């Protein structure tokens, strides 16, 4: 095994969070080496629509817990950094092209989905906008430019949020690469195998090649694969919420007439997923997203059925002429989803070892804020944001709601999935299905632990592997 020159910090991961942290540390004077494959396999950032939305993402369940409200506050604060972040990256990278691609966001409630989920989340979005005194306006979807859905999927009401934009995720990652190099940082094209620890402090990162990168600090920001680097730190890892992947499929298409909407168009968040959305990119290219399916392991390729579902929804609910669009690329991302649904931010229980992952759907949006926060921790200045202390990685499970609320949410979302897939069942079946699901999910959570309950996504997606990981984590804190 060879050993390379020691650096102050090794950052493992080159998605939006890892790349942003590496850049921020470098411009604060740290010697930084960033590790990751240039193709960014499995990363969520490359496949992201990169909506800079906090209010458009609000759900009824998010508002039901203090930790959920802290997460909303985190999103709200992160949004304010993006204009300066755009300028900083332009200056440091030497590329003065703007990251921004969309002017505001339209949130539309259409006839697809279900009342408890779609209508409930639409009300939650508006309630949060009022609570934060955020500018918005109610709009008539019939008067919107570009939008042309199937009449069976027409929008009933809409909100326009002028402060919620989007960026080009591909351009963002490229500028972060350039900015790091120009600031004197180093990029290593490799995959990390494990963290190396001597005594009670980190000493570096071992690569798949066998090479060792030594460092005073190691920041793991490798998305859904982050915790695999801690496999040999049993005592630490068992007290950190295990993670699964929120596998998602998105697509880039070129519209037939090259016309695009000028803003993000999206629905409220839907069954276990972000809502259907489209985001304009340059030269007639439109981003369509996105699915979200809980998977025990990250996935590299799209399932045909998931792509078919996404494109069918886009044609029906956004613009029927998208059926004639050219399919340019299919993208797959893996969102890091912790066992309690909340981020893993801060010290990982070993001196010099840090985690910045578990952000689920919000990582790219939060990346400038997280870069500042993690850099302050490494500088020894303490928490940049005190309210993030509850998201320290070594922690007992955080609650997304009461057990009854979580079971109800799981049932509501499973039923909504049926409506999204246009099921056609006789009228007496839905209440029978709901009763069966409620009994089934109640049994699942009661058998896991007498007090701890995972979020609805994990309850619905329970497999033997997820079950065993949850049981082991819960036992560590019982």
Tokens 């793991």 belong to 220
SS (H, E, C) the chain: CCEEEEEEEEEECCCHHHHHHHHHHHHCCCCEEEECCCCCCCCCHHHCCCECCCCCCCCCCHHHCHHHHHHHHHHHHHHCCHHHHHHHHHHHHCCCCCCEEECCEEEEEECCCCHHHHHHHHHHHHHHHHHCCCCCEEECHHHCCCCECCHHHCEEEEEEECCCCEECHHHHHHHHHHHHHHCCCEEECCCEEEEEEECCEEEEEEECCCCEEEEEEEEECCHHHHHHHHCCCHHHHCCCCCEEEEEEEEEEEECCCCCCCCCEEECCCECCECCCEEEECCCCEEEEECCCEEECCCCCCCCHHHHHHHHHHHHHHCEHHHHHCEEEEEEEEEEEEECCCCCEEEECCCECEEEEECCCCCHHHHHHHHHHHHHHHHCCCCCCCHHHHHHCCCCCCCCCCCHHHHHHHHHHHHHHHHHHCCCCCCCCHHHHHHHHHHHHHHHHHHHHCCCCCCCHHHHHCCCHHHHHHHHHHHHHCC
Q: What is the pLDDT of residue 14?
A: 97
For residues 266 and 386, the model is more confident at 266
- Taking residues 365-389, what's their average pLDDT? 90
CATH fit for domain 101-165+245-335, picks 3.40.50.300, 3.90.1150.10, 3.40.50.10490, 3.30.9.10? 3.30.9.10
Same fold, 3-46+170-243+340-391 and 101-165+245-335: no
Is 3-46+170-243+340-391 a domain of CATH 3.40.640.10? no
pLDDT of 449 strictly over 60: yes
- Taking residues 225-237, what's their average pLDDT? 94
Token pair for 204: 């570096």
**Nearest partner of 41 among 212, 186, 191, 168, judged by Cα:** 191
306-342 per-position pLDDT tens digit:
999 999 999 999 999 999 999 999 999 999 999 999 9
340-360 per-position pLDDT tens digit:
999 999 999 999 999 999 999
Q: What is the pLDDT of residue 384?
A: 73
Mean pLDDT of the chain: 94
Q: What is the pLDDT of residue 382?
A: 73
Report the chain's terminal Cα–Cα distance, integer Å: 40
Longest Cα pair distance anywhere in the chain, in angstroms? Answer: 69
- Taking residues 213-231, what's their average pLDDT? 96
44-62 per-position pLDDT tens digit:
998 999 999 899 999 999 9
Neighbouring residues of 147: CB distance < 8 A, sequence distance ≥ 6: 108, 141, 155, 261, 265, 318, 319
Question: Residue 1, Cβ neighbours under 10 Å: how many?
Answer: 8
pLDDT band at 1 (very low <50, low <70, confident <90, very high): very low
Share of the chain above pLDDT 70, in %: 99
Share of the chain above pLDDT 90, in %: 91
Q: What is the pLDDT of residue 273?
A: 84
9-35 per-position pLDDT tens digit:
999 999 999 999 999 999 999 999 999
Q: What is the pLDDT of residue 6?
A: 59
Q: What is the pLDDT of residue 329?
A: 96
Token pair for 398: 């955080």
Spatial separation of the C-alpha atoms in residues 142 and 123, rounded to whole Å: 20
Q: What is the pLDDT of residue 175?
A: 98
pTM, two decimal places: 0.96
386-397 per-position pLDDT tens digit:
889 999 999 999
Token pair for 44: 């969520």
88-139 per-position pLDDT tens digit:
999 999 999 999 999 999 999 999 989 999 999 999 999 999 999 999 999 9
Token pair for 70: 């802290």
pLDDT of 431 strictly over 90: yes
Every domain of the chain and the residues it spans: 3-46+170-243+340-391, 101-165+245-335, 403-476
Spatial separation of the C-alpha atoms in residues 99 and 87, rounded to whole Å: 9
Q: What is the pLDDT of residue 59?
A: 95
Q: What is the pLDDT of residue 166?
A: 96
Beta bridge partners of residue 421, listed in sequence order: none
């Amino acid at each position: 095994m060879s050993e390379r020159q020691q650096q102050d910090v090794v950052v493992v991961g080159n998605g939006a969070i890892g790349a942003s942290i590496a850049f921020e540390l470098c411009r604060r004077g740290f010697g930084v080496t960033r590790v990751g494959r240039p193709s960014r396999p499995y990363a969520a950032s490359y496949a992201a629509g990169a909506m800079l939305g906090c209010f458009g993402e609000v759900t009824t369940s998010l508002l039901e817990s203090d930790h959920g409200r802290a997460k909303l506050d985190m999103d709200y604060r992160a949004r304010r950094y993006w204009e300066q972040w755009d300028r900083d990256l332009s200056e440091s990278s030497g590329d003065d092209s703007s990251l921004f691609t969309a002017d505001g966001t339209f949130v539309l409630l259409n006839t697809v989905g279900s009342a408890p989920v779609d209508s409930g989340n639409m009300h939650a979005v508006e309630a949060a906008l009022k609570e934060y005194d955020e500018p918005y306006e109610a709009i008539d979807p019939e008067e919107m430019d570009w939008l042309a859905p199937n009449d069976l999927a027409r929008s009933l009401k809409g909100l326009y949020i002028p402060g919620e934009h989007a960026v080009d995720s591909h351009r963002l990652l490229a500028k972060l690469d350039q900015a790091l190099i120009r600031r004197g940082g180093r990029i290593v094209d490799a995959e990390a195998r494990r963290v190396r620890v001597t005594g009670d402090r980190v000493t570096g990162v071992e690569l798949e090649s066998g090479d060792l990168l030594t460092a005073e600090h190691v920041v793991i920001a490798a998305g859904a694969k982050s915790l695999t680097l801690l496999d040999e730190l049993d005592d630490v890892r068992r007290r950190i919420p295990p993670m699964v992947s929120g596998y998602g499929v998105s697509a880039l298409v070129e519209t037939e007439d090259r016309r695009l909407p000028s803003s993000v168009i999206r629905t409220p968040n839907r069954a276990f997923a972000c809502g259907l959305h489209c985001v304009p990119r340059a030269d007639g290219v439109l981003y369509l997203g996105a699915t979200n399916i809980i998977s025990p392991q990250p996935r590299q390729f799209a399932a045909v059925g998931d792509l078919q579902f996404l494109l069918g929804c886009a044609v029906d609910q956004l613009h029927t002429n998208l059926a004639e669009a050219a399919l340019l690329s299919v993208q797959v991302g893996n969102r890091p989803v912790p066992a309690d649904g909340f981020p893993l931010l801060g010290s990982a229980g070993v001196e010099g070892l840090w985690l910045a992952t578990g952000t689920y759907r919000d990582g790219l949006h939060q990346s400038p804020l997280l870069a500042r926060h993690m850099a302050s921790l490494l500088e020894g200045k303490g928490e940049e944001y005190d309210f993030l202390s509850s998201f320290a990685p070594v922690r007992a499970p955080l609650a997304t709601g009461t057990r009854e609320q979580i079971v109800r949410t799981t049932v509501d979302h499973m039923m909504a999935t049926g409506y999204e897939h246009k099921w056609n069942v006789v009228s007496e079946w839905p209440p029978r299905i709901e009763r069966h699901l409620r009994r089934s999910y109640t049994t699942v959570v009661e058998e896991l632990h007498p007090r701890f309950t995972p979020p609805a996504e994990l309850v619905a997606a329970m497999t033997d592997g997820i079950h065993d990981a949850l049981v082991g984590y819960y036992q560590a804190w019982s």
